[in-house]
């Protein structure tokens, strides 16, 4: 009887000890990552996993699977910069600032929604596109982002948007695009393929992509698409993560526009 009681006790303790061990390992991992972030003076890109939790039922792709880097908040978002890529009127009161990953399936889903927002609000909302490649789950996203910056160098804002639209159109997402096809895609949107390839091979636009990523982390973006509404009149901001439908954005935009 005593042996049986001890056996039952051990059976109850094993799962408790297992959970405690996992919790301890998680805490140690978080502490280690914070130390590494402090040592590096920046935000480290960590592998993520595809999950609907980031954007509710509409989904989103988080920047980290379990351990998150140090992120800021939407009030710290960079205002409109000279090197930003804008669709719509740059002088619009409202800015939809999207931090995006070209291999993220939720970003692909959100792309036409952002276009719809600009079209529906006719000069009241401008769309600002910034890069937030989750490079440990989308190893091709960095190079694709660099490719769009090469398009910008060769053909300005129009060139950037044409290639960005084309990549989202053809990629199956989740590393599905063949990077060798980038020069061909550039040619299809009217860019000089030779000049484009020279730019892409040089890696000269990588710094811009990294700067965008750090800007997003500073603004509290933790996954893609990471959307921030900025009212340039009041200075108020609203972080809206995930590929939410147009109606959700309309509600937020209308509420912000009502404020004087």
Please tell me the predicted confidence (pLDDT) of residue 16.
57
Per-residue model confidence as pLDDT tens digits over 203-217? 999 999 999 999 999
Report whether the peptide linkage leading into residue 225 is cis, meaning its omega lies within 30 degrees of zero.
yes
Mean pLDDT of 1-11: 47
pTM reported for the whole predicted model? 0.77
pLDDT reported for residue 45: 55
Rounded distance between C-alpha atoms, residue 134 and residue 113, angstroms: 21
pLDDT of residue 73: 84
Cα separation, 93 vs 106, in Å, equals 26
Q: Which pLDDT band holds residue 242 (cuts at 50, 70, 90)?
A: very high
Using CA atoms, how far apart are residues 221 and 202, in angstroms rounded to an integer? Answer: 29
Closest CA relative to residue 221, chosen from 114, 87, 106, 131:
131
pLDDT above 90 (res 260) = no
Query: Which pLDDT tens digit goes with each residue over 190-205?
Result: 999 999 999 999 999 9
Distances (CA, A) of 63 to 69, 101, 173, 214, 226: 9, 10, 16, 12, 10
The answer to whether domain 54-258 has CATH 3.20.20.100 is no
| Lookup: tokens for 167 | 């990549």
| Token pair recorded at residue 98 | 């999207």
Domain boundaries, the chain: 1-41, 54-258
pLDDT digits over 119-176, tens only? 999 999 999 999 999 998 999 999 999 999 999 999 999 999 999 999 999 999 999 9
Contacts of 2 (CB under 8 A, 6+ apart): none
pLDDT digits (tens, 9 = 90+) for 34-73: 333 333 334 445 444 333 334 444 566 655 443 344 567 8
Q: 253 is written with which tokens?
A: 């935009």
- Predicted local confidence at residue 120, as pLDDT: 98
pLDDT 10s digits, 66-106: 334 456 789 899 999 999 999 999 999 999 999 999 999 99
Task: Give the pLDDT of residue 255.
Answer: 97
């Amino acid at each position: 009887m005593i042996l049986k009681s001890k056996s039952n006790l051990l059976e109850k303790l094993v799962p408790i000890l297992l959970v405690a061990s996992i919790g301890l390992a998680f805490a140690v991992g978080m502490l280690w990552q914070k130390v590494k972030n402090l040592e590096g003076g920046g935000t480290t890109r960590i592998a993520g996993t595809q999950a609907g939790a980031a954007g509710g039922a509409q989904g989103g792709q988080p920047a980290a699977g379990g351990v998150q880097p140090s992120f800021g908040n939407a009030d710290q978002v960079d205002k409109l910069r000279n090197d930003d890529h804008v669709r719509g009127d740059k002088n619009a009161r409202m800015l939809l600032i999207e931090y995006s990953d070209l291999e993220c399936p939720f970003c692909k889903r959100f792309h036409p929604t952002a276009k719809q927002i600009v079209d529906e609000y006719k000069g009241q909302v401008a769309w600002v596109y910034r890069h937030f490649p989750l490079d440990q789950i989308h190893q091709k996203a960095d190079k694709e982002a660099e490719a769009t910056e090469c398009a910008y160098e060769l053909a300005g804002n129009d060139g950037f948007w044409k290639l960005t639209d084309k990549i989202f159109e053809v990629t199956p997402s989740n590393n599905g695009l063949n990077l060798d096809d980038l020069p061909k895609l550039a040619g299809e949107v009217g860019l000089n393929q030779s000049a484009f390839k020279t730019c892409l091979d040089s890696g000269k636009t990588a710094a811009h992509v990294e700067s965008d990523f750090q800007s997003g982390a500073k603004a509290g973006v933790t996954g893609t698409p990471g959307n921030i509404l900025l009212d340039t009149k009041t200075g108020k901001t609203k972080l809206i993560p995930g590929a939410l439908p147009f109606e959700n954005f309309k509600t937020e935009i209308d509420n912000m526009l009502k404020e004087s």
